[in-house]
Amino acid sequence: MEQFVRIGDKVIDRKRLYHVVDNVLESRAAGLSQLEVAHRLGTERSFISRLESLGEVHRGVRLALVGFPLGDKEQLLALAREEGIEYTLILTDEERWRFVDEKSGNELLNEVMQIIAELRTYDAVIFLGSDMRVRVVEALLGKKVVCVELGRSPIQGDCRIKPEKLRRLIRKVKAADEATERETD
């Protein structure tokens, strides 16, 4: 197969194109939103959505996982990928404070609102956080959210959740949502 393809006046580099597609998929699998990936590439979110639709093999429950402050972040992210979680936002205690401290009030509000808007597009959201954060997220997302309280606010330092406990919860949420989906079809 030729690396370069001529289309009219354009010469297309297949390897470059494949690299971009791989980058998009890896970024999305790592938990970045379509909008974040589009910004990185300098393109529209709709392009990322169309690209995903072209390669879609399975359409099922769309599930997001958000939690902070959590230790063992990499292990939890790997578990989320294994379980097909489409959106993850897991922050350690250090990362959550950096998230807040490095932004102006306006920037922080805009980013939080963008995250909330993104989460509302999912069938279900699993949220891991303090008692106060749980109440806020339940008020914002309603029935779409399943919460696990990590402790009383303010939590200081990283919390831990047993990976197998989280795996069981993810599978229960998926099964419940798939059952609901079948009932409405």
Output the domain CATH number for residue 66. Answer: 3.40.50
- Same domain, yes or no: 71 and 47: no
Helix, strand, coil shares, percent, the chain, to 5: 55, 20, 25
Question: Average pLDDT in the 82-90 region?
Answer: 95
- Same domain, yes or no: 159 and 82: yes
- Same domain, yes or no: 71 and 135: yes
Res 58 pLDDT > 60: no
Res 81 pLDDT > 90: yes
- Same domain, yes or no: 174 and 106: yes
- Same domain, yes or no: 101 and 131: yes
Give pLDDT tens digits for 144-183.
Answer: 999 999 999 999 999 999 999 999 999 999 988 666 655 5
Report the C-alpha dihedral over residues 166, 68, 99, 131, rounded to 10 degrees: 140
- Same domain, yes or no: 50 and 75: no
Domain that holds residue 7: 1-57
Q: How many CB atoms lie within 10 A of CB 54?
A: 8
Domain boundary among 32, 57, 82: 57
Number of domain units in the chain: 2
- Same domain, yes or no: 113 and 154: yes
Give pLDDT tens digits for 127-152.
Answer: 999 999 999 999 999 989 999 999 99
Question: Average pLDDT in the 41-58 region?
Answer: 82
- Same domain, yes or no: 45 and 114: no
Map tokens 């009030």 to a residue.
Answer: 105
Give pLDDT tens digits for 103-124.
Answer: 999 999 999 999 999 999 999 9
pTM summary value: 0.67
Domain boundary among 15, 30, 57: 57
Domain boundary among 41, 57, 73: 57
- Same domain, yes or no: 142 and 84: yes
- Same domain, yes or no: 182 and 165: yes
HSE, CB side, 13 Å, CA atoms: give it for residue 65.
26
Map tokens 């963008």 to a residue.
Answer: 114
- Same domain, yes or no: 126 and 45: no
CATH number for the domain spanning 44: value is 1.10.10
